Amino acid sequence: MNQATTRYESDFYGWIQHHIALLREGRWAEIDTEILIEELDSMGRRD
């Protein structure tokens, strides 16, 4: 388990804020794409 995944599990809001910053800065290689895709998929099914 990597550091981003650990943060996702222990501090979801912090994980979200961190990934928003990564997206805004264009730091694509640092994004935890697997979890981000799962979250977006889940959000789409809920709404």
- Residue spans of the domains in the chain: they are 3-46
Encoded tokens for 32? 């935890």
Would you state the pLDDT for residue 47? 76
Question: Which residues does the chain have with pLDDT short of 70?
Answer: 1-2, 4
What is the separation, in whole angstroms, between the first and last Cα of the chain?
A: 29
Identify the DSSP state of 43: H
Q: Reduced to 3 states, what is the DSSP secondary structure of residue 44?
A: helix
**3-state secondary structure string, 1-26?**
CCHHHHHHHHCHHHHHHHHHHHHHHC
**SS3 call for 31:** coil
pLDDT at 1: 63
Structure-block tokens of residue 39: 């979250």
Q: Identify the pLDDT of residue 6.
A: 83
